[in-house]
Amino acid sequence: MNSRRDSVQRSLTGSILNRNLRVLVLHPQDDDGLTLTSHLRRVGFNVETRWPPAGVLSDNVDLVFRALLPEERAPKDEWLGPDAPTLISVVAFENPTFIDQAIKMGSDGIITTPIRASGLLATIVMALRHAKQARQSSQRIASLEQKLLDNQQLREAKAILMLMHNFSEPDAYEMLRAQAMAKRVTVDDICRSVIQAGAVLQLHARIRSADSGSID
């Protein structure tokens, strides 16, 4: 059992090491910055260094090491966000202020200075895995939210057809499905069109009602 787990772990770590990762180090070119860059290149990563941090990152960056310095109150790099690459913060002091900053930035891991080779690879592997799982969770949530929205739109479109044409619910759904097949689009697309048309008709009905009321 343990050998199987060890094999899986080696394969996960090996897959990361064999990915030819593109790493961006946002750190001053001091002893820690140079040491970090040296360790990363020794592992076999493609490393680029930059300081101060730029507002925009290139699309081909897989992993970012970002130094958090005492003089930076609250870094707000423009590239941070849901689609940002995996982020590891580099802090000089392991205190709540720096940890809170790293959390607010969405860091997937933290390392402290002085930089040491020991533990660096483990931090990278865990950070990349955490970032991957977070992205997968976000995608699942977005997919579930879209399904809920689609179901709501389907119910609304069926209700409109049932009201306008006195259809039964199964007949309303069959009409939506037939229209989707005929136009080679999804049922969701047809539902949105029906809802938009229903809103327009409702608006016209209100205008007619208002006009007739003003004439009276």
Residue 163 sits in a domain whose CATH number is: 1.10.10.10
| Residue 164 within any structural domain of the chain | yes
Are 63 and 164 part of one and the same domain? no
So what's the pLDDT on residue 127?
A: 93
At 6-52, the pLDDT tens digits run: 554 556 677 767 668 899 999 999 999 999 999 999 988 999 999 98
Residue 134 has a pLDDT of 87
pLDDT (0 to 100) of residue 64: 95
Q: What is the pLDDT of residue 5?
A: 54
Q: Are residues 96 and 13 in the same domain?
A: yes
Angle ∠(130,136,1) on CA atoms, nearest 5: 60
Per the rule left: phi > 0, alpha: psi between -120 and 50, beta: everything else, 16 is alpha
pLDDT value of residue 126: 92
Last residue of a domain, one of 61, 83, 118: 118
Do 186 and 100 sit in the same domain of this protein?
no
Confidence of residue 215 (pLDDT cuts 50, 70, 90): very low
Looking at residue 10, its pLDDT comes to: 55
Q: Are residues 87 and 161 in the same domain?
A: no
User: What pLDDT sits at residue 37?
Assistant: 95
Average pLDDT, the chain: 83
Does 161 lie in the same domain as 111? no
pLDDT above 70: percentage of residues in the chain? 84
Q: Do residues 12 and 100 both lie within one domain? A: yes
Q: In this structure, are 109 and 7 located in the same domain? A: yes
Q: Are residues 113 and 153 in the same domain?
A: no
Please indicate, yes or no, whether residues 114 and 150 belong to a single structural domain of this protein: no
What digits encode the pLDDT tens for the residues 154-208? Answer: 888 888 888 888 889 889 889 898 988 888 888 888 898 888 887 776 655 554 5
Instruction: Write down the pTM of the prediction.
Output: 0.67
Residue 125 domain-assigned?
no
Domain containing 88 — which CATH number? 3.40.50.2300
In a domain, 35, yes or no: yes
Last residue of one domain, picked from the residues 118, 153, 183 = 118
Q: Which pairs count as long-range contacts for 85-89, CB under 8 Å and 24+ apart, including other chains?
A: 85/24, 85/57, 85/61, 85/131, 86/62, 86/127, 86/128, 86/130, 86/131, 87/63, 87/127, 87/131, 88/63, 88/64, 88/123, 88/124, 88/127, 89/65
Residues 34 and 84 in one domain: yes
Q: In this structure, are 11 and 111 located in the same domain?
A: yes
**Structural domain range at position 190:** 144-215
Count of domains observed in the chain = 2
- The tens digit of pLDDT for each residue in 104-151 reads 888 999 999 999 988 999 999 999 999 988 888 888 888 887 887 788
Are 168 and 114 in a shared domain?
Answer: no
